[in-house]
Amino acid sequence: MSTTGLAARDVAQAALAVCAVVLFWEVVERRRVTGRARWVLAGGVAVLPGAVGGRVAWAAVAVRWWAALRGRRAWLCLPVAGVFAVLGESPLPLVAGAVAVPVVGRRLRAAERRKEREARAGRVVALCGAVVGELRAGWQPAQALAFAARETGALGEEEAAVLAAARFGGDVPEALRRAAGQDGADGLAGMAACWQVAVDGGAGLAAGLDRLESALRDHREQRERLRAELAGAWATVAVLAVLPLAGVALGAALGADPLRVLLHTPAGLGCLVVGGALEATGLWWAARIVRGGERA
């Protein structure tokens, strides 16, 4: 084995050791925080005895670990790249993993924002339905809005301002329009228009909100149907992303040692750069086509 191969393997093993140290530090820190929380509970309220208390403590630790991993999933690129670096005896996969961390993190944050936007849109639909139900039960508009907002949480950060305007005779439509500026809360602008018409023209608020809820629900169902129809296209994009790894695995199974060829020969490095660029371009173009269909 050459000196270059040994040096590359040493670098990869050192990187894996750093990842292991960071993971160990996270474990120690989590245990310290959990122990402090248990001590506070013991001195304050109560501690569950025996096995029940132990299961509750382990459940709390599992929840905290899940939250930590969800917030740092992009950093999993480093240990995965470290495995390829050790197998290929080259530091290049580590460099690619370090470059992938911010890219993957940005994609994951965008996905989280999209989920939160869809969840808030669903809460706005539920808010309209809840207000209609309370109005038809005989409640005043301000009381119905306050109760429905607390039940659904659709107003988000603007909940206090909207409820204050409703309770103390403020400009409720303007407060709702400000709340509609939140991501996914566009339906609140329609609620503001219904409220404005009901206040100025004396029209029935319940009837307007009922029609608004039906329109928002139909729009949401249409988007869900479109997303279901595009699931096959997204599956095709995922298969395209996995195909190069499947080719490398197939070559390794046949004894061709593709990692050594790709990472230690000039022709392999050229193929790796060109193939990676073509793969990234193809994935970007395919995802752009599918997203164009979603927007349409």
pLDDT single digits (tens) 116-131: 988 999 999 999 999 9
How would residue 192 be classed by pLDDT, with cut points 50, 70 and 90?
very high
Within this chain, do residues 212 and 242 fall inside the same structural domain, yes or no? no
Within this chain, do residues 240 and 185 fall inside the same structural domain, yes or no? no
Within this chain, do residues 238 and 296 fall inside the same structural domain, yes or no? yes
Domain end among 179, 201, 222:
222
Picking from 29-33, 145-149, 176-180, which range would have the lowest pLDDT averaged per residue? 29-33
Residue 86: its pLDDT value, please? 86
Within this chain, do residues 160 and 244 fall inside the same structural domain, yes or no? no
Burial class (CB in 10 A: 0-12, 13-18, 19+), 70: exposed
Picking from 13-27, 90-104, 107-121, 133-147, which range would have the lowest pLDDT averaged per residue? 13-27
Q: How far apart are CA 265 and CA 231, in angstroms?
A: 39
Looking at the chain, list the stretches that DSSP marks H as alpha helix, in order from N- to C-terminal side: 3-44, 50-71, 77-88, 92-136, 141-152, 159-167, 172-179, 187-201, 205-229, 231-253, 258-264, 266-295
- Compute the average pLDDT of residues 80-88: 84
**Total domain count, the chain:** 3
**Which of 294, 258, 289 lies closest to 90, judged by CA?**
258
Range of the domain at 83: 1-90
Torsion of CA 46, 52, 56, 62, to 10 degrees: 160
| Higher-confidence position of 33 and 184 | 184
| Domain-located, residue 111 | no
Taking the CA of residue 265 as centre, how many other CA atoms within 13 Å lie in the half-sphere pointing to its CB? 9
How would residue 234 be classed by pLDDT, with cut points 50, 70 and 90?
confident
Percentage of residues in the chain having pLDDT higher than 90 = 16
| Domain-located, residue 100 | no
Within this chain, do residues 250 and 292 fall inside the same structural domain, yes or no? yes
Question: Does residue 5 carry a pLDDT above 60?
Answer: no
Residue 191: its pLDDT value, please? 92
Residue length of the chain = 296
Residue 286: its pLDDT value, please? 84
Question: Does residue 72 carry a pLDDT above 70?
Answer: yes
| Domain-located, residue 19 | yes
**Which of 147, 139, 174 lies closest to 158, judged by CA?**
174
| Domain-located, residue 127 | yes
| Domain-located, residue 112 | no
Residue 111: its pLDDT value, please? 85
Within this chain, do residues 55 and 129 fall inside the same structural domain, yes or no? no
Question: Does residue 215 carry a pLDDT above 80?
Answer: yes
Residue 22: its pLDDT value, please? 54
Average pLDDT, the chain: 78
- Compute the average pLDDT of residues 3-27: 54
How would residue 177 be classed by pLDDT, with cut points 50, 70 and 90?
very high
Residue 279: its pLDDT value, please? 87
Residue 47: its pLDDT value, please? 42
